[in-house]
Structure 1
């Protein structure tokens, strides 16, 4: 196996974790089960990303309100950097093969990272 094949395999293996987000959402799983095209799969990811983005925004607002002093500004800075990182990371994941699966991997990456970040922010303030 050459380096490119290994790199692509590693990315696809890593991005398969993005489809694991489907396990935590029955609506996403149902959508993906009936998706027969790349566009449909991307649409499923986009739909669930909207749900997770609302969750992220709510968790961010709550976490920001719980911070005091310089920690408030630090959280704002971290969140801005995280958004840049997510977008760059998922653009990279979404361009690994040059094939149509890249669209699914890229949108799945955004979904997975958004869901994970929402959980991280929720954990900042506790239950």
Structure 2
């Protein structure tokens, strides 16, 4: 059972906690100097703020580009996406009951927010 929990934790950390660091110099630098779980969570939270601003800008731009029923559809999809992200990352952030869950949960929010921002930016093109 412990091996399974550790394997799940490692997998979640690999998927949720580090994917953005590989592509983001500021996050990588922060994570490289993080000495504690709290430091790692703070790194994720700091970058999540940056990506959340990006997401909001992309959402407003994408919404303005929609017409008619598509505008309402995008609003509905975005609300559902937020619920999904929050539920998904709460699940990822509670896998083992250990402190690494905090890193996994915050990394999940960061990764999903960054990915969604890109999806919204892609709706309106470069």
TM-score by length of 1: 0.92
- In the alignment, structure 1 segments of 5+ residues that lack a partner are none
* Residue in structure 2 matching 1:12, options 10, 13, 20: 10
Report the Cα offset of residue 11 of structure 1: 5.7
The alignment of Structure 1 onto Structure 2 pairs a total of residues equal to: 125
User: In the aligned structure 2, how far is the partner of 1:32 from the partner of 1:91?
Assistant: 21
Matches of 2:87 and 2:109 in 1, distance apart?
10
Question: Which residue number in structure 2 is paired with residue 94 of structure 1?
Answer: 93
How far is 1:24 from its partner?
Answer: 1.6
Match for residue 84 of structure 1? 83
Partners of 2:5 and 2:96 within 8 A in 1: no
Runs of at least 4 residues of structure 1 off by over 3 A? 3-8
Provide closer, same or farther for how the CA distance between residues 123 and 43 of structure 1 changes in structure 2, counting only shifts above 3 A. same
Alignment CA distance shift 1:124-1:11 (3 Å): farther
When the two chains are superposed, the root-mean-square deviation of aligned CA atoms in Å is: 1.6
C-alpha deviation, 1:17, in angstroms:
2.4
Pairwise CA distance, 1:7:
6.9
Please give the per-residue CA displacement for 1:38-68, whole angstroms capped at 9, x wherever unaligned.
0000000000000000000000000000000
Scaled by the length of structure 2, the TM-score of the pair is 0.92
Where does structure 2 lack aligned partners over 5 or more consecutive residues? none
8 Å Cα contact 2:9/2:96 also seen in 1: no
- SS of alignment partner, residue 95 of structure 2: coil
